[in-house]
Structures are given as C-alpha cells and as structure tokens.
Amino acid sequence: MKEIYQDKVQGYKSAAASFVPELGRLSFTRLAAFLITGILIMLFAASGWIVPVAITAIAGTVWFAVTLRSYNRITAEKKRAGFFIQINEAELRRMDNDLSGFPTGSEWLQRDHDYAADLDVFGHHSLFQLLNRTTTESGARLLAHWLSAPAALHETITDRQVAVRELAAKVDWRQEFQVSGMQFESTKSDYELLLKWVEEPVQFLSSRKKLLTTSVLLGIVSTVALAYFLYYLLFHLRELSGIHLLPLVLMLVVNSVYLRKFSQASEHIILSTQRNIGILGAYQSLIETVEKQSFGAKKLRDLHAVLKHAGSSAASEISALKRILEMFQQKGTRNTIGKNAFYGMMNNLWLLDVHLILKTEDWKSRNRDHIRPWISAVSEMEALASIAGFAYSNPGYTFPEISTEQYLIDFRTVGHPLLKQKKRVSNNFTMQGRGATTMITGSNMAGKSTFLRTVGINLVLAFTGAPCCASHARVSPLRVFTSMRTQDNLEESVSSFYAELQRIEQLLRLVGEGEPIFFLLDEMFKGTNSQDRFRGGVSLIRQLGELNAFGMISTHDLDLAKLTKDLTIENFSFNSVISDGQISFDYRLTPGICTDFNASELMKRSGIRILSDISAT
C-alpha cells in the first residue's frame, strides 16, 4: 500500500516540476508582450499614426491576455499537483501513525461525553486525525458527529459499510474529490450564517416588476444624461457649460435617493455572505466532482440524486449565487476600506444594487429548501470518503458483521488502530449475553487500560461504518460508556474522585433505563483509600451484576478479582516476566487472574529503596 502512495507522490512531483519551465516561458512572453506593445505605441504615436496605435493597443492587449490566461491555467495545474502531493504524503504519514499537524477536532470534544475523552476520539494522536480527510467545516462536523454518536440502527451501519467499500476502491476519484475542496480549505467561513441568510424571507421579490421597471427607466435616463454631457465634452468643448452637466447631476441625486431604500438590504447581504464566497466555491467544486461520477451503492446514489434532481444541478445553482455575491462584494459596506469606486459609479448610474438584490432574492426563493440538503449531501459524501480512505490504507482491517443479537462482541486479533503496526499486539476477545462482565487484572504497564481502549475504539469504528482493526469482528449495536481518565475540575471545585462518582452515577442511570450499554471501567475509585476502594468496588460490581450490565473492568486488586469468582464474571489478565532485574511484557490476554505483579521492581528501578520487612520499621 505504501508503494502506491509513494508512486503517486513521485508522479505528481514530476508533473509539478514539468510546469516550471513552461511558467518561465510564459512569464517572459507576458513581459515581452507588454514591452513590445508599449514601444510600438510610443513610436506610432510620435509619428502621429493613430490607426496603427489603436491596432497595436488592441493586438497587444489580446496577446497579453491570452498569455496571462495560459499562465494562470498552468499555475492552477501546478497547484493541483501540489494538493495531490499533500494528500498522498498525508496518507503515508497516517500509515506510520504520525498524526502530528492534522486537525485534532478538539472543538467537538464534550467534557462529559460518554467515551470521547477516554478513547482518544479527538485531540492529539486521535481517531479523528486518523480518519478525517474532509475539506469543509460541515464535513468535519458530520464526521465528528458520527464518531461521537455512532449509529444505533443495523441498516444505517450496513448502508455506510456498502458505500465505504465502493468509495475505497475509487482511489483516484476520492483524491480528486478531496482536491476539489482543498483549494478553498483555508478560507475562513461561517456557513451557518450563510444558511440562515438563505432561509430568511425575501423583501422585494413581490414588487419585482415594479422595481425593475423603475430602475431600468432611471438607468436609461441616466445614460442619456451621461451621453449628453460626454457629447459636449468630447466634440463641443468650447460650448460646454454647467447646463450640460445639470441633467446628469440631477439623475445622480435622484438615483442616490432611490438607492437609500435598498441600502440596508444590500448591507445585510454583504455582511451575511462576505466570509462565505470561498466556501460556496468549495461546495460548487465538490458537487461538480460528485455529479460527474456514477455510483452503485444505494447510499451514494441517494446523495447523488439530492445534488442532481430533475435535470437541475446544485453546482450550477451555487455557481450562479457565487457570481452574484462576488459582484455584490465589490460594493463593500460602510466600514469597508478600499471599496471599488468603479462599482459605486456604475451603481449610481444604473442602480446595480436593485438588480443584484432581486437576483439574490430570486435565487433564494428557488433554492431556499434545497441548500441544506445540498450541504448535508456534500458533508456526508466527505465523511464517507474519509472513512473509505482509512479503509483503503488499512487492507488488513475488516468490516464488522452487525449482529441482530443483543449484547455481543466478538473480535479476532483485535488491535489498537492508534498504535504503530510493528508495536501493536493483537488479541482475541469475545463477550456475549446481557449481564456478562469481564474483569482484566494485570501488573503495571502490562496493557490493561490499552486493551480496554482497544475494544472501545474498535466498537466506535464499527458503529461509525468503518472497518475494525481486527481480522474478524461481529458486534451488536451498543452504547459505549467509559470511566477511565476522570480528572478534577478546579473551576467547578470537583475532585477527580468526585468526578469518577459522577461518571458511575451516570452509568447506573443509563443501565437502569434498559438501553444496551457496554461499559469500560479502569481502576475503580483510585482516588480514595484502599479500604473504601475495595468496599466500593465490590459493591459496584454486585450492583452492576444485579442490573444485568454488560462491560469490562480493569483492576490491580487481586482480592477484588478473587471475590468476584462467585459472580457471572470472566477473568482475564496481562502478565509480565521479571528476569535478572529486567521486566518484559508480551501484552497477551491470558485467561484467569493475574499471577504476577511488578510494582516493587518498578519502584526499585526508580531509585526507591524497598523495605523487605515493613513491620521491622
């Protein structure tokens, strides 16, 4: 797989390098066009040859424009090649589990979320970084939502799996789709403000005929007044007087007063859309890429149908709005520095504001009910393409079978996807039946917590529609809930122990409500003394058993593990070996309670002189 991405990187680097000489040639040609045209115009003008001056000016302008257009086209191709290089280099980094520099998704991390903080769903070196290949804020937001609230319905998950499988095979199309949005990726936007503006009611469309008639008549009269003034300015300068300018001044005053009626509306349009021109370009480009592709999976065909329905094209509609708004941005607002003065003159003569406002309102009336479905479809396509990229880069992963049985987890050679493949140790693990609980004991650093996270994060992948880091997976839809990294909160004066109690209270409430829950508890009540910790642990385990809870518990406490033998709890362990003062771990899940502990040896290695007989002190 790495070879495929490496070949693509080299291919696009060669393509980008091939554009450099051509750009240099076009730069020279552009400069030559400017200089030659300028010199010829000066020579012809000095000889009084007006016609050659005009012909040279026109020919030189065309020459320069054609060269500039070619230069911009090749520059865009070189930039696209750079985007493809970025994409494939990013895939190589993900395959090496080097996730530094990728967006962390931390803005979507909720402190009291069921599992996101404990399972590294967001943040540095997170699942979001591993999966995310979106280019729009809405696409990233939807992917984050899928990871935070995995699908609970069998059909939803399997539909995503079918779509992801199809997209995984379309490597070139997926990368083309990603590049379509990357050219606008750095654009600051507020697409929710854009949606809010589109969904607002129109103000002037009901009076469209009247407003168009008035603005066209005023524009015609203004044009006549301007022509009248220019005629005397160019051909009868000696006769020019204030009377020839007066009609134009009067029309500019009348137009200015008339435009005040629309000033608030035009200001509102500009303020609501000025940060979203770029994102409209991104959606247009992404939609065009989708519209050109055919799909077999029902989910993908449904998304394609949303974007191209009854002969209409979402891309062309968004392109039309983008052109209108780009023209409107030339006007600027009252606080805009460096307004386009040319627009101001044109507006005062021909009332451009009126025409543009009516065009935007006409667009809104046609597409108000479509814009959210369009953005939603693009976002879902981006989320599915992200998961497909993850699936393609990990051919050894498997799509889980989503079972109709309740309370089922069955993994073969399951590993943690955020660990490097060379360091990853995989294990088999099965749990089945409501009320089943697994207790994991083990020495320090042996892998207990990592294994709990391994099971949890693979369930998140499964319910998102992604493949699991396992050779076989069969699971039933479950709500994952964890209590592993409870931390204090100084702002709210909450200790880590009380924070853990709040999590346990939330777990008991969820289990009591009857929803299928899979819980992961790591080292229960570690914030209190050993006696209370033991008593609380035994009590909680028995209470969870009475509630028929389904989940996993890790602990260092051998007494706690032994006491639960009479309960419906299956014990597994991770063990270490100490030989000649060296500790080694195999990270293999072993049936039964842990048989060795290494804390004293680890403390010795940290410089602590361990007493052989505490009573002697």
What are 315-324's pLDDT values in tens digits? 999 999 999 9
What are 559-579's pLDDT values in tens digits? 777 776 666 788 998 887 766
Residue 62 phi/psi, 5-degree rounding, is: -65, -45
> For residue 264, is pLDDT > 50?
yes
Average confidence score pLDDT of the chain: 87
Specify burial of residue 359 (Cβ count, 10 A radius: 0-12, 13-18, 19+).
middle
What's residue 578's pLDDT?
A: 66
Cβ atoms within 10 Å of 106's Cβ, excluding its own = 11
pTM, two decimals, is 0.88
Residue 332 phi/psi, 5-degree rounding, is: 75, 175
Q: Which contiguous run of DSSP H or E holds residue 579? A: strand 576-579
What's residue 223's pLDDT?
A: 93
Structure tokens, 612: 């052989």
Tell me which DSSP letter residue 616 carries: G
| 201-205, 305-309, 443-447, 509-513, range with the lowest pLDDT | 443-447
Q: What CA–CA distance (Å, rounded) separates 101 from 129?
A: 9
Sequence letter at residue 361: E
Separation in Å, CA 477 to CA 212, 401, 408, 555, 574: 59, 11, 8, 26, 28
| 497-501, 515-519, 568-572, range with the lowest pLDDT | 497-501
Tell me which DSSP letter residue 400 carries: P
Q: Which contiguous run of DSSP H or E holds residue 442? A: strand 437-442
For the chain, report the end-to-end CA distance as a whole number of angstroms.
62
Rounded to an integer, the average pLDDT of 11-31 is 91
**Residue whose entry in the numeric block shows the structure tokens 């045209």:** 37
Confidence tier at 490 by pLDDT (50, 70, 90): very low
What's residue 94's pLDDT?
A: 95
Sequence letter at residue 284: Q
Where exactly are the structural domains of the chain? 1-96, 191-385, 401-616
What are 27-79's pLDDT values in tens digits? 999 899 899 998 988 888 888 787 888 888 899 899 999 999 999 999 989 99
> For residue 186, is pLDDT > 80?
no
401-616 classified as CATH 3.10.20.30: no
Rounded to an integer, the average pLDDT of 192-201 is 88
Separation in Å, CA 312 to CA 218, 306, 606: 35, 10, 71
> For residue 492, is pLDDT > 50?
no
